[in-house]
Each structure stands twice: as structure tokens, then as C-alpha cells.
Structure 1
Amino acid sequence: MTESSLSSRVAVGRAARKQISRSATGEWSPPADRRDPVAILEQQAETRVPALVPIRYGRMAASEFAFLRGAPAIMAADLARSPNSGLTVQLCGDAHLSNFGLYASPERRLVFDLNDFDETLPGPFEWDVKRLTASVAVAARENGFTDTCAHDTAKAAAWAYRTMMAELTRTDELDVWYQGVDASSLLKQAKRPRGRKALESAFAAAERHTSVQALRKLTEPGPDGTPRIRYQPPLLVPYAELGFDRITEEEIVRRVFTDYRATLQEDRRVLLDRFRYVESALKVVGVGSVGTRCAMALMLGDTTSAPLFLQVKEAEESVLAPYLKAGRHEHQGQRVVSGQRLMQASSDIFLGWATGPEGRFFYIRQLRDMKGSAVVAGLDQKMLRNYAGLCGQVLARAHARSGDRVAISAYLGHADSFDRAMARWAVAYADQTRADHQALLKAIKEGRILSVDA
């Protein structure tokens, strides 16, 4: 890169401070005309499976952190009320603490990265940082820590993001692209015995999360000895139980899998063809996505009958879409897959997309592929601070793959102005989350919405 080119990118970053200063990014107070948060959730419910919506409300009602997890649409509406830097990256769109985790790379190594991209879309980098730091503050409070701890832990996440972005400005293009976090490197960094033991336990649990384990947990022998899905209402049920009688399972498989197969690389189509389809069922997953159409498909290998479980998940329009420029992909499943591939250092080999019945959009991935995530509620203050910092670093690396890391780093600067602003934002938005969570509980108590624990 020429010196003049580098200088121009630095100038772009510094000029962005005129759009919104670093200090101003930390400001939050609810405007008088702020939308009713429960109304936003009710609007989302209009396109979802009615029988599953009460489960979503029940999961969000469980705690303030659970509410935050399920409410990216509420935060998106709030983020859009303020000016932004204009420094665009591929956003995760829902970068809270629990959307980082472990999974297996194609080389079968455990890696740590972002792992949820339902809301991904190009947008201002700080929106993801705000989502992350707010989740840090809410988690700190939920774990019984003081607001000072919540502030300082959120600040640590922002510091990690800023300093990693600065480091990446000195890194070659290919090295930025290939850089990832190998799980084994996390063990080497663990200094405290308790932290190391927790990591070892998490790694062991993730390594057990395979299709073989799912076969034992989610299936039972059929009349001919072939594994069949063991239904677990209301979280794993046949299509007919949720009003899908008019759409046969065979039709879903024909439409979705034929379409999906065409989106895979040629070598992966060859591999997929070595599995035969057995059956599928509707499966409830997550918090915010509960109510969208999500199926689990069981497939068996032609030679040894080794299992492969695929998740067929509906992709709706990103919650960020009303406030940002349209993305490159009209197909929402392709939007999710493309965003995931752009942000992750390595992605699931079976990741693809399809159009299903009624013109709905879906994306497909392995249901269990050594996936695991931190139990945020079990982290002490130091562990939470370290985990928040790790997530900040990973987010910076993900943003650097698509955005101008030089311009972003120039905007962030070398002082801690941005870090302090994000910490203020995080605590203020934790207050907002508490109020919104109470609004949900009130709506449930008054019978405005129905909540079910499941």
C-alpha cells in the first residue's frame, strides 16, 4: 500500500468523527416517542408459527439477559435513532456474548468465533460493539456484580476491540483473512486453575456435541431398526402438530434439499449425496428466533449408516433492514450464509441456502458439529472480563475482513475515548433492558400476551 493511500484511509476514519464523535457514541436516553418494546415483539410474531410464540415470550421473560438475547429488533430500532460513523462492515447484527462460541473447523479443530448470523447485514461497525458491550453489562448485573464492575467489564470489551483493530492495521491482508482463534490457544492463555478447568470442561462438552451424540439423544429405533426421530413436544414435533398438514414432508424435502444442494460447492455435493434422507421434524431453537420455522433433518450414510443431522432454519429479513441500505442478496437465506462466510475464519462445510414452501427463505447447516458456548451466568468477575475481551477481539477480526480496518482504527484512535463511551452506553442500555424486561413481564401478567415455559 502506498503512503498516500494509507493516509487517505486514515483521513476517512478521522473525518467520521464529524459524523459522530467517539464520546457521543456512549449517549443513550429513551426518546419520548420511543416505540413500545412489546409492540415490536408482537409485530415480529405476526410472521411466526402462532403455537410457538408463547415459548419465545416465556424464554425472554426468564431473565434480563434472556430478554436482551431475544430483542435484537428492539435494539436495532434504538440504534437507528442516533447518528452513526458511516464506517461500514458486515455486521453480525446480534453480537451478544452468547452468540460467540466453539465449533469444529473443516479440519476438525475446535475454534472460537461468532456463531449466529440471522441478522447479518452491512452497517456501521459500532452497532455490533454496542450490542456486545450492552450484553456484557446486563450479564454482569445478572451475575450479581456492581454497576462499576459492569462498566469496567464493558470497557474491557471495547478496549479489546479497539486494540485488536489497531493491531490488524499492521497485519497483511492474507493474514487478516486467515486469522482465527484456535481453542487450544485459549488453554495456553488460561493462567488461573479455575479458568483452565472451565475451559477444559467446555471443550470436552463441545467435542461430545456430534451427530453421533444427537442420534442417541434425539432418535429411537423404528420398526425396521432404522433410527427415527423421537418427538419431544413442544420442542421437537411432527409437522402436522403445528398446522402444516397441507405441506407434505416429501414436498418440503424435494423443494428444500434440491435447492440447497445446488448452493454447495461441487465437492460438498458429492459428500452430501453419500447420505440418504430418513425424516425430519420441527425443532424449537434459541430465544429470539423461536417461532420461525426450523426443522431438523436426519440423514444416514450409505456405507455405515453414520448419522448427519442438518438444521433447516427460516431466514427472515434482518431486524437491521428497515434502518440500513439494502444488502446484496434478496434471498434471506443467502444473506445469512454470505454474511457468515464473510465474518467467520472458517465455516461449516454443509452451509447453504434454499427456498421452501410458500416462498419462504431458509439456510441449512449442521445441527451439531462440536458446538459449544460459555455459560455466562457461571462466570466470576475476572472470567467475565476475560471472556468479554476475547469476544471484543474476535469481533474486531470479523469486522476487519469486510471493512476498512485502517479507517476504523483511525476513528477509534489511541486513547480510550471510545472505550469509555461504550462503557457508558452499556450501563445505560442495561437500564433500558431492565425497563423493557419489566414491560414484557407486565404484558404477560395483564394477559396482553401469552407466555409458556419450555
Structure 2
Amino acid sequence: MALSVDQLAAVPESVQRADPLAILSDQDRTRLADLVPVRHERMSATAFTFYRGAAAVMASDLAATPDSGIVTQLCGDAHLSNFGLFRSPERAMVFDLNDFDETHPGPFEWDVKRLAASMVVASQANGFEEKAVRDAARHSAKSYRKAMVAAAEKTALECWYARVDADEVVAEIGDRFDTASSAATQKNLEKAKHRDSAQALEKLCYFDLAGAHIKSDPPLLVPAGEIMPDMGRDQLTAAFTAGFERYRGTLQNHVATLFGQYRFIEAARKVVGVGSVGTRCWIALFGGDHVGDPLFLQMKEATTSVLAQYVPGYEYENQAVRVIDGQRLLQASSDILLGWVQQLAFEGQQNTDFYVRQLRDGKGSVVVEALAPEGMKYYGRLCGDVLAQAHARTGARAEIAAYLADAGKPFDNAIADFAVEYSRLNDGDHARLVEAIADGSMSADALEKSS
């Protein structure tokens, strides 16, 4: 075994760590300046929201510790809130990884550590006792280990077609946890089935005699005409239409034919997530031949993965293609409208790589804040299974499985030890951000409106 199991528990010493606030500030320089304060505000809310937005900080920390040397395609940001529901092309609800902005090759355990540490941070935020906190992390690692070892006995096609049925998740939660938190989680999962372009149209648009228009709710939702007031409506429409025509060229022919039946109506900048705040993100409304046939697409900026500088030897001319290729490799079912376009960004006038996907297609997630200890432990096992399912689709399946078979149960404990120790680093980093906002050295803006 190249790396002893005990070494997996190591966290970087203070002298080894890059300044976490400096890392965040470096990212801020490439983001839209008017949205940076919103990002800081969202990250400062809790230790967990900080963790969600600090993938770059953790990437630096992981690179400063020993690794297995077993490289596979990583999600790159496999915290528990980046798992969730969406519809497969066959219209079945599935549970899987659903965020690949940071996907990149790297040591397999980096994804496992990112997941396990998120279990600890979220469990602490929910007020769990110390044993329950550690158990949540340990069970996620155990589930990953056992599923990965089992995958080595399956064929490549069996691993490729494996997926988690969302209805089973809902039923499992209901059967195991007859509590108010279980009811809240089940309700949220059920709501996801109705999240689609029609629901987005109702929530994000208003109507007049000219038809549908995207609402204005700055800075979180801003129609393109308000961002570029010097451009006329026809000029904006032409620019977006040309971009989406290039995007259409990245789709498979039969999907391109489907997309060709929709016409562009309007676009707006929309703030999403925590860590993504400040990157360029657009939503675009399209209409079909019938009044009740809307389509919402999201056009999201793809920047260099936070892992790239720590895993040399991989070059990507187009960051959106990196995201799409990683998603299609790791995800059991991917959006048929997943594609990309290079576009001159209106803000900053710079060439930008955008990946494009449906804005809402049954997307939903477990309410992490509502989980009790048993629910969190179950969710950790579920996410560990799904992460293993993703890694098992790669060519490193056998090598990872062999390492884990040799490691056995000590792997679970080492990952849990790492997760608990790393949560302390995260707490300290979060406290520093709160202090920096309080003393004015970092800006924050709580302009949170419904959108």
C-alpha cells in the first residue's frame, strides 16, 4: 500500500496552509465586482455555508497532505449539498451528484474527504453530539469503501448503468424516520418532481400583452436589458440568438433538432449558489410552438478548476468542455441539453467559456438542516454509495478497490478523523471571514430577495 491508512487522517499544519482569505480574494478578482459582497455575505452566514464556498481553500489544504497517488476523475466539490435529485432523459427521478464546476483528475480520496468533512460541519451545525458527528463522516467513508470494493466485481457496463432511484430514497427516509424532519425532507423531494421550465416560468416571469418577461430583482435577478442599457432589444436578441446557435452545434444531431423547435425570448443574469456567486451566470427563456411550451436554459461560466494547480499534467483549452466531459463520465444520467458555448461576456468584454443546461429539470435536494442524527447517518451512507458509483465509472475502479480492500475498516476511521480535524480548520477560517467583514477589510452585502 503506497500510502498508509493512518496518513489519510493528516490535516495540514498552520505553517503549511496558504492564507484562506487570500485564496478567496484571488478568486474575487476574476468575479463580477458588484456580486462579490453577496458571495462574502452568503459564505459568512454559517460554518457550513463557508465550507460550501471554500472549495479552493480545501483544495489547497488537501494538496498539502499525503495522498494515495491513485488518480481518477473527481467531482472536485463533493460536499453533501452537491448531491440531489433530477430527472433522467427517460424521465425517471434519480439521485446523484449534480455539480461539476470543479471536476478534474486527482487522488480519489480527495472527493471522499470533501464529502466526509461536509458531514461533520453540517452535523455540528445541527447541534449533534460528538459521537453522532463523527459517525456521520465514518458511515459515508464506510459506504464508499464497501461500494467501491463491490464495484470491482462488476463489469464495466454494470458500473456504467448503475444508478440510485429517487423514489427509493424517499421511501427509505419515510420508512426509517417517522419525524417532522423526515416529513420536511420528503416534501422537498416530492416538490422536485414539479420543478421544470413551466414552474420556472410561473416563478421567474411576469406577463403583459407582449408575452412573458423575466422579472427584475437586482442584484440576484437582472434582465439583460438592464445590464446593457446601451444595447437595443433587437441587438441583445441577435447576440444571444447567435450564441445559442453556436451552442446548438455542440449537441447531438437529434437533440439539436429538438432545440431548434424553440425560439429565444429573453435572458437575465441570475445569482446562484454560494461558491459560484460572482461568476457570470445567465438564464434564458425560450418558447415553443404552443403557449404552454416554455424552456429555460442556464448558461454558467466555467472557470479553471480549483484542483488544477495541484494536479499538473492536464490542460484544457475550454473549461466548459472540461465540466461537461467530467459530468458525463461521473453522472449516471446527464441532461440531454448539456452543451457549451464560448461567448464574449457583456460584463468585462472577455471571452468566456459557458456550459449550458436546463435550469430546472426535477432538481431538488435533501434539507440538510432538517436532518436528525439517524437521518444524517443514512444520508452519509447514501452519498458515499453515489460517490463510489461515480468513481466506479472510471478506469481507476480496480486500483481504488484494491487499495480499499487492503485498507479495510481503518480507512473509515482515518477519513472520519480527518473530517473532524478539518472541521476545526473550517471553523477558524469562517471566524476569520466574519471578523474581516466586521472590520471592513472584506465587503459583504445581504441583498437577499426572493427570485
* TM-score when normalising by structure 1: 0.92
* Residue matched to 2:14: 31
Aligned-residue offset at 1:187: 3.8
Taking only the aligned residue pairs, the percentage that are identical comes to 47
Structure 1 window deviating more from structure 2 (166-175 vs 156-165): it is 166-175
Aligned counterparts of 2:439 and 2:401: Cα–Cα separation in 1: 48
Q: Residues of 2 paired with 1:42 and 1:242: CA distance? A: 24
The within-5 A match list for 1:52-63 is: 52-63=35-46
2:134 equivalent among 118, 128, 151: 151
Q: Aligned partners of 2:29 and 2:239: how far apart in 1?
A: 22
Q: Deviations over 1:162-200 (max 9, x none)?
A: 000011111121110000001122244343233764553
Q: Are 1:230 and 2:222 an aligned pair?
A: no
Matched, 1:276 2:257: no
SS of alignment partner, residue 349 of structure 1: coil
The superposition leaves residues 247-302 of structure 1 with CA deviations (integer Å, 9 ceiling, x where unpaired) of: 96335414421221111000110010111100001000000000000001000112
Q: Aligned AA for 1:100? A: F
Aligned 8 A contact 1:140 1:150 in 2: yes
Relative to structure 1, the CA distance from residue 33 to residue 22 in structure 2 (aligned partners, 3 Å threshold; closer, same or farther) is closer
**Greater mean alpha carbon deviation, residues 120-129 or residues 250-259:** 250-259
| Counterpart for residue 388 of structure 2 | 396
My pick for the range that moved more, 236-245 or 129-138, is 236-245
Aligned residues of 2:189 and 2:366 also touching (Cα < 8 A):
no
| TM superposition shift of 1:328 | 5.5
Is 1:81 the counterpart of 2:64 in the alignment?
yes
The alignment status of 1:439 with 2:432, answered yes or no, reads yes
Q: Within 2, Cα distance between the matches of 1:139 and 1:256?
A: 40
Aligned to 2:357, what secondary structure does the other structure show?
Answer: strand
Task: Give the deviation of 1:325 after TM superposition.
Answer: 2.5
Q: How far apart are the structure 2 equivalents of 1:252 and 1:400? A: 41
Post-superposition offset of 1:152: 1.4
Query: Secondary structure at the residue paired with 1:369?
Result: coil
**Counterparts of 1:360 and 1:326 in 2: how far apart (Å)?**
23
Residue of structure 1 in register with 2:240 after alignment: 253
Asked whether 1:386 is paired with 2:403, we answer: no
- Quote the offset at 1:404 in angstroms: 2.1
Cα distance in 1 for residues equivalent to 2:228 and 2:418:
43
Question: 4+ runs of 1 displaced by more than 6 Å?
Answer: none
Alpha-carbon RMSD: 1.7
CA drift of 1:29 comes to 3.9
Provide the secondary structure at the position in 1 that maps to 2:37: helix
Q: How many residues end up aligned between the 2 structures? A: 436
- 8 Å CA contact 1:57–1:452 kept in 2: the answer is yes
SS at match of 2:94: strand
The SS at the match of 2:30 is coil
Distance 2:227 2:33 in 1: 9
- Corresponding position of 2:365: 373
Asked whether the 8 Å contact 2:16–2:64 carries over to 1, the reply is: no
Unaligned runs of 5+ in 2: 345-349
What is the alpha-carbon distance in structure 2 between the residues aligned to residue 385 and residue 150 of structure 1?
9
Deviation at 1:380, TM superposition (A): 0.1
Whether 1:163 aligns to 2:155 is no
1:128 maps onto 2:111 in alignment:
yes
Q: Distance in 2 between matches of 1:251 and 1:185?
A: 45
CA-CA distance at 1:346 after TM superposition: 0.5
Which residue of structure 2 lines up, in the alignment, with residue 322 of structure 1?
A: 309
| 1:332 alignment partner in structure 2 | 319
Amino acid paired to 1:339: G
Structure 1 distance, partners of 2:271, 2:237, is: 21
Structure 2: which amino acid aligns with 1:412? L
